[in-house]
Structures are given as C-alpha cells and as structure tokens.
A and B are shown apart, each in its own frame.
Chain A
C-alpha cells in the first residue's frame, strides 16, 4: 500500500500541535486553567467534553468498528459498557469523589482510610493499570502507521511512544480543559464526516447492501482483492471457493490457482491470496462466518460460553470506568459535587452520540473491506474504509481526516495515562535523585513500549476491555465501599485490592500472552470480571468485619464531608490547599512535576 500523503501530513500536524502546546504553551495553559478554576467558569459542558476527549482512546476510535466488523451484534456491548461505566460512576462515585478533594485514587485511599499501606497498594495498581491500558494504545498506533505508510509495525510503536514521552516530558497538554474538549469534537468529526460522505455517495447501494447482509451467506468481496497474510491463520470456508495463492497453504507450497472445499484451511505467514469480485470471504476460524451469525447476538461468536462472556464484559466495563486513573483526575476541574454530577450526565450524552459512528463504520466495513476478515486484523477497518469506497483525492482527504482523528485519540489517552503513571512513580515510588518527573515519564513510557513490541497484538477493544476488568476488580470496590460503607478498614481494603488485582492481572497477562486454558476455566480467564469483582467486594467486607477495631476514628467526619453539599461549608469552596505549589486545575502529577522542574 502506498503512503497516503494527506494522512501523513494530518498525523504530523496533530503531533506537532500537541507537542507545541505542551512545550511552548505551558505558561499560557497554567494561567488560563488557574484562572478558569479560580473564577469557576469551567462549566459542565466544557468539562464533559474534556472528560470524553481524554477517555475516547484507540479502542473506541478504531477498536469498536473492528470488533463490529468481525463479531457483529455481540461487539455492540463494548460501546454500551464504555458508556454505561459513566452511569455507574454518576450513581455511586461522582459527587462524593469530587467532594473528597482527592486528586488521584491513592489520595482517596489514604484520605478515607488514613493508611500508608493502602496508599502504596493503590499506587502499585495505578501503575499496573496504566501500563495495561497503554499497551493496546501503542499497538494501535503501530497499526495506524503501518496502514498509512506500509512501514514495519515496530517503527510506528517506537515513533509514537517517543512522541508521547516527549509530549509528557515537555509539559503535556493535560492541564488544559479546552484542548481536551477540542479533542472530543475532533474525534467525533473525524469519524462522523467519512460516515456521512459514504452514506450519501453510496445511497444507491443500500438495496444491494441489505440483501447481501441479510442473507444466510458469508460476506462477499466487492472487487478483486489481494490479501497479504502476515501471520499464520486458520480460515473457515463455508462455500467452495476458487482463488490464487502464492506461498504456503495447508502445509503445501502453492503458486497459482487453488480450490478450497468447505472446511478449515491453514494459511502460513507470507502468503498472498487473490480473490475475485463476488466470491465469498473466508473468515478467521472462531468468528461468525455467515452474515446471519453476525447479525444475531449470542450465536456463532468466538466464545464457548457467550452468556458468561457477555455478562462478564458488562460487569467489567460498567464498573471499571470509575477506577481508571486518567478519568478521575479530570473530575477535579468541576467546581463542586453537583457540577461533577452534571458533567457526568453530559458525558453519557456525548459518548452516546460518538459511539453511533464506530458502529456504522463497522457495518459499512463488512460491505466494503471484508478482506480484513481474512487476516483478522479488523482494527484497521476505519482507516481503510474511505479508500475502499471512494477514489482519488476524496478518498485520500477522508483518509487523512480519519488518520488525524485516530492519532488524536491515542495521543490524548496515552498522554493522560502516562502523566498519571509518571506522577505516582515520581512521588510514591522513586526516591532520591531518581525522583525526577522526566525520568519517571521515561520509565512510564518505555515499559509499555517494550510490552507493545514483544506481545502479539490482540483486538484493541478486547485488550482495553481486560484493563477495565482489572479496574473493576480493584478500585471499584474500594471507591464504592469507601464512599458508602462506614465499616471499611485499611486491612480489608488492602486484602481486597491484592486479591482482586492479583487474580485479574494474572488472567489478563495469561490472555495477552496466549496461554489461556480451555473450557470453563478458560472462559473465566478470558473474561475474569464476573468472578473477580464479587470476590473483591466479598473479601473487603469480610476482612473489614474481622478487623472492625481498625475502623478509622474519623470515619464519620470524612463521610460527612463526602456527602454533605458544599454550601454547608464542610468543604472549603476552592480545592483544599496542599503542600507545595498546587495549581488548581492541574492533577497532582503535573503539579508535583512542576516542583522538580522549577
């Protein structure tokens, strides 16, 4: 594939603007955000757009369309869960967390339970969670660069990790509510404009589309297509098929025309397959091969236990959002608890609008770029769609817009995560001279980069879903019990965090490395939340009951502060004064970093 010049320029512009604002605009940004918070003019609308802007990662921008293309109706639970997480956050966490005055999860743990040990465990989990979430972001970046330029995957991962690290080191764009809010609208337009253009220009195709997609048949190639197989793959063929192949098929060297009967066929790496227009698309084994299975939820999916997998995913995404480190710091720019609720509700609306477009993109991709089903690398669907439908400059222009959006998606989330991780690393983990924020940022970026390069990439949305499972099995119980249950003790919290975190992280690593077992146990490992979340809640409650003598003596005061409206005066209007310079709008990471830089 030749390099798309428009797309490269768009990506470079996004990267330069981001770093430029970070590097040259720090002073402007600080004073602006300080001013905004001091005069409390950051209204919920801006805040909600900023929260959404930081939240919508590569998983939302690329991953959901890819999963919809591959799995169909079952994949729709991902955007529902990614949005529903904010409903759970609104119901149980938003206002009390804002009123607690905590910047980060470790801050909250220490404030509520008055224990350094809880803080340490929470810090460790923030770092692990941040890295888990960063790996798929970097892999998505590698994929994007590969699709745009044809360069090797590691080039993209490497380049993009460096851009984000540089961005974080020079100051980051995090501080600015405006920039993050703008990111939301940029991502929304980058998906919505191509979808509208495709829908309008291809309106005549719909009757054709509806009949093909509705039939009990596999998807078909819209045109003659060549597919390069990069890694070994097993394809399921449901209709006899004639194709050309160069390379190794079913453990035999081939060079020329091949006939495939019904059944599974093995294709080895570095094989080129050529399909003619109208022929059926062979689909990676394990995914729905017919459009019927694709349209129908709970049937023909990749899981042996679809009901368990779906419920586990629902639990992970609905309860995991509240435990994501880069989401919570954003709540700090809300003037009070009531505004925190209003922002969260607006986030529900903004995400609902956004997720329409990845879903439509995934459906269109099934018609126009089904060749991705052959390799299984469906995450590229959104990037390839404009080029597959349109010709010449409109295709390249839309491709550029989509690429810019993808890059923005992943820069904003990765920067936010890296700042969160580097912040806790530099304040709570590193000691002495190593406590430099820049060193911490380097560490925060290089570790996930090494993982991203060494672990085979999974579907982005699926990998991110696993990170949600870890968040749901650790911080969700801590926050919910901490906010609503007086009898939580530090020992109970630590026990729950260690057990839930340990089990879920082991499951995620086993899945990512590809050593998951078969059967029921395998289904739990592949989607652990339905087991680990109740287990964590249970452990925290049980251990707290046993260690009831350790209930913090100031629990009544802290809970009064979490729940009473600010008007009462229990909480100072402004964010509480903290040791050291703490610019109001900045998360602690950045503000603490400032102490070292000045």
Chain B
C-alpha cells in the first residue's frame, strides 16, 4: 500500500478508479495525504459565497523525519487502535494538567471573596501600611497566576515530549 503525497488536480480526464470519490468518508481516505491539505473542512458549505478551495499538490516539508515516523503517524492519523489511543492519552494528560491547575486557582483565588466576607478581621490587618486585601488583590495574585502559568508550560511540554517519544520510537 502506498501513500501518495498529493492528489491529481480534479476534473482531469478519466477519474482514477483507485482514487476514492471526493466527499465520501470511507476509511481509505484517511491516509496521510489527507493530513497534509487539512485547511478547509471537507464539505464546502454551499452558503459561503467563496469559490471552492483549489486543490493543490502539497509536499511534506521535512521528508526525512516524515518517513521515519510515517507508520506511527499513519496510525495516529487513521485512528487505528494504537494511534487513537496515543492521541487520546495525550489529550487526557493535557486536560488533567489544565484542570488540576484550574482547580488550584479556583480554590485559592476563588476563596478570597468568602474570606473577605466572613473573616473581616483578616481584611482589616495591615502589612507595610497597606491593608491585606489591597496587597493580595492589587499585587500578590499576579505573580501567583504567573507561577501557575509557568508550571502549566512545564507540564504540557513534558506531556508533548512523552507523546513524541512514543510516536517516533
């Protein structure tokens, strides 16, 4: 089975019997080539007045690496058992990281209104001549959010690196 890197321009001569008809969704079309000309969603909606996207022959930019990972890549793309599982694992890992950090923020920053409401004694304390709520909301929350963002960058980088390691093996 071969993976052509491009498709012939449409409407030229006799239709190739081995080329699936456009706009059908049998799984054979989910081959590498479809990945490459991703831009427009496949069925061009009739209501959009723009002309249908022109088909272009697209060549993978970095052939060497593309060939090396081509099988796993094809699996990822074709959503065969292995590929689909890998992508699902990646999405899950990224979502877990995002939700955990979001919970951390929700529990810390989100608790502040309750604290200020029900522990007014704390809100009346002064540090360095400034009231605690002003110090916290006017200053401290910003470096805190930055730290959370930095942690998220580290976590997602690690997740993506794990994913790439598996795919490229």
Contacts and interface: CB of A to CB of B under 8 A. Distances in A.
Interface of A: 73, 76-77, 80, 83-84, 87-88, 90-92, 95, 101, 110-111, 114, 116, 119-120, 210, 295-299, 306-307, 310-311, 314, 338, 341-342, 344-345, 348-349, 351-352, 355-356, 359, 427-428, 431, 435, 484, 553-554, 556-557, 559-561, 563-565, 567-573, 576-580
A80 B137 contact: yes
Contacts of A73: 116, 123, 131, 133-134, 137
Contact of A564 (B66, B87, B117): B87
Contacts of A484: 91, 95
B76 to A, nearest CB: 6
Contacts of B62: 569
B138 A359 contact: yes
Interface string B115-150: 011001001100001010110011101110110111
B142 A352 contact: yes
A564 B163 contact: yes
- The B interface is mostly helix, strand or loop, or mixed, namely helix
Give the 6 A-B CB pairs with smallest separation, nearest first. Answer: A352-B142, A576-B39, A76-B137, A116-B45, A91-B98, A345-B149
A306 B117 CA distance: 9
A370 B43 CA distance: 61
14 contacts: A73-B116, A77-B137, A111-B41, A297-B137, A311-B113, A348-B142, A348-B145, A352-B142, A427-B49, A559-B91, A563-B87, A564-B76, A576-B38, A579-B50
B21 interface: no
B84 to A, nearest CB: 6
Contacts of A557: 30, 34-35, 77, 79
Given A73-B133, A307-B117, A565 B164 contact: yes
A71 to B, nearest CB: 12
Contact of A568 (B36, B49, B53, B69): B69
B133 A579 contact: no
Given A348-B146, A352-B146, A560-B77, A114 B41 contact: yes
Most buried by B among A311, A484, A569, A578: A569
B82 interface: no
Nearest to B167: A568
Given A295-B133, A564-B90, 7 more contacts: A76-B137, A116-B45, A296-B123, A314-B113, A338-B160, A349-B146, A573-B61
B36 A572 contact: yes
Contact of B145 (A314, A352, A427): A352
